[in-house]
Amino acid sequence: MRSDEHFLSRTIESYNATSSEYSQRFSTTILEGHISRFQSMLPYGDLPVLDAGCGGGRDAVEMAGRGLRVVGVDLSEELLRVARIAGARNLVLGDIRRLPFRDSSFSGIWSCASLVHMPPAGVRKAVSEFKRLLVPNGILFVTVRHGSGTEWREDGAGGARWFQLYSASEVEDIITEYGFSIETSVVEPGLVRGKWVSVFAVGGS
């Protein structure tokens, strides 16, 4: 197995082993302003949005509560179980680099901290999938940890999660490479710790 695949599978094992504690810990870290903006930018309110890497379902539930039709996808079966209990619906076990959905089926894609466990090659595959799945002028929101290099972070239960940190220009370059125009890109403090690069982009026709 290539090392980045091995790092991702160890990371998903960690999420599976700590799903309840993890979801509880981040249950209130809702990017409310970004969710409002995402919703206001959607070109079609009646088409679904994809929560790509939905984890324990916090944002999927929030967006559904705001009237959006939400589909959630994640690689962690246990986080999806937590998401289901939290009230999220339309949940799919899958990899955001190879998504099982038809072209142009979403009005928006929300990727909150889900590209953080992949090196640039994996992020390129995911962004290429996001482009395929979005309608023309569909909205993409991405937020990833800001910085450089990679790190392992212990999960307190004997496992660990692997992270890749990104500069704003690295993220912007990958997103524009797949035909998106950047609306805004900011480096901002995280709700828990560290800095994050948050990008809103619009998919071309």
Residues of this chain that bind ligand SAM (CB under 6 A): 12, 15, 26, 53-55, 58-59, 74-76, 79, 95-97, 112-114, 116-117
CB of 143 to ligand SAM, least distance (A): 8
CB of 111 to ligand SAM, least distance (A): 8
Nearer to ligand SAM, 20 or 181 (CB): 20
CB of 194 to ligand SAM, least distance (A): 12
Instruction: Answer yes or no: are the C-beta atoms of 127 and 174 closer than 8 Å.
Output: yes
Beta-sheet strands, E only, within 31-158: 49-52, 70-74, 91-93, 106-112, 134-145, 150-154
Nearer to ligand SAM, 105 or 137 (CB): 105
Nearer to ligand SAM, 55 or 138 (CB): 55
Structure tokens at 168: 């704003």
Nearer to ligand SAM, 53 or 138 (CB): 53
Nearer to ligand SAM, 110 or 180 (CB): 110
> What residue is closest to ligand SAM based on CB?
55
2 DSSP 8-state letter: -
146 DSSP 8-state letter: B
CB of 205 to ligand SAM, least distance (A): 27
Task: State the Cα–Cα distance between residues 122 and 131, nearest whole angstrom.
Answer: 14
Strand order in the sheet with 91-93: 91-93, 70-74, 49-52, 106-112, 134-145, 195-203, 180-189
CB of 122 to ligand SAM, least distance (A): 7
Q: Identity (one letter) of the amino acid at 135?
A: V
